Every structure is written in structure tokens, then in C-alpha cells.
Amino acid sequence: MKSTISFLGGIIFALVVLVVAGYFAVKAGFVPAGADTKPTAVERWVANTALRAALERDTKGLANPVQPSDENLITGVHLYAENCVICHGASDAKPSNPAQGFYIAAPQLAEDGVEDDPEAESFWKVKHGIRFTAMPSFAPTLEDDQIWKIAMFLKRMDKLPPSVDAEWKQVPSVAGTPSPK
């Protein structure tokens, strides 16, 4: 009994030491805070685990109420061009200057697409954003049906009907050009 209490006391003491050491590491500036510093393995694990859990919980039973049609897909293309292209690129998949500075890098969706993701997942990410990344929440600026149209476009980006694909190819590139230093 006494050895069990000592063992548990040792574990509690070790946890307290870790928390205190972590606190002082943060307060002393030893934890990187710059946007140009890659996240640590712990940061990535925490962020990815939290995101996966939130998506699993919040997208259950969530279905796109907007019917896939050329008109709705073209609206999705236009909304993407107005709101997403600066970070996620146009059909040429070339990143803009701001996108080149993001840590975690914003995927260039014409190349690193989300066609395999459920539409509900894309809807959630656009609506709520993703914490600790540059992905903002569009809930304050877009209606749900607009966000669903973006999600619908993203889901079908690799197999768009010809008229929609032509519209997508007309979205101007935002490819960045290096500034002279």
C-alpha cells in the first residue's frame, strides 16, 4: 500500500515538474512563436488530433443541401476565386506571395486537392477555419449555401463538367513573384 502511494506521488510530482518547466519555457521565450518557424512535432500532433476529432464530431450527419449543377458549380468557382485563390491558388497551382510564407503551408488545391474528402469536411473547414493555421473562418462573410457551393466545387475539382472547367481555367493565376531584397 505504501509503495503504491509513493509511486502515485512520484507520478504526480513528475507531472507537476513537467507543467512548471513547460510554463517557464513558454515565459522565457524558448517556445518558437514566429510564423516562419516550422511547428514542432508536439504542436502538429495536438493540432491534427484536435482537428480530426472536431471534424469527426461536427460533420456527422452533415449533408450538402445544394444540388450539384453546372450553375451551382460555376458559382462555387466564382466564390473560390473571390475568397480562396489568394491562399490556395488557381488552376495553375502556383502559390501567391502570401501563401509562400504560411507555416503550415496552404495546400494549392489544384494540385493537392481535397476531392477525396467528404464535402461536409470541406464545408466545416471553410465555415469554421482551422486554428493555428492561416485558414480563416468564412462564417462571418459567407452564407451556408455559398460555403456548400465552394465545398461542392472542391469535391469535384478533378472531374468538372466542361463548362465549369472552362470557367475554372479562366480564374487568373496569383503566382507570386519574388520581390527584390
CA distance 120 to 105: 22
Q: Is the pLDDT of residue 6 over 90?
A: no
Helix axes of 70-83 and 144-155: crossing angle, nearest 10 degrees: 100
pLDDT tens profile 163-179 = 999 999 999 998 876 66
pTM confidence score: 0.84
Lowest mean per-residue pLDDT among 53-57, 78-82, 141-145, 174-178: 174-178
Mean of all residue pLDDT scores within the chain: 92
For residue 178, what pLDDT is reported? 66
pLDDT tens profile 98-150 = 998 887 889 999 998 899 999 999 999 999 999 888 899 999 999 999 999 99
Sorting pLDDT into bands at 50, 70 and 90, what band is 180? low
Count, residues in the chain? 181
Q: Please say whether the beta carbons of 126 and 151 come within 8 A.
A: yes
CA distance 68 to 71: 8
For residue 56, what pLDDT is reported? 96
What's at 1, amino acid-wise?
A: M
For residue 179, what pLDDT is reported? 63
* Torsion angle in degrees (nearest 10) through CA of 66, 109, 77, 125: 40
For 57, phi and psi rounded to 5 degrees? Answer: -70, -45
> How many other β-carbons are positioned within 10 Å of the β-carbon of residue 58?
15
| Grid cell digits, residue 154 | 472542391
| Grid cell digits, residue 117 | 474528402
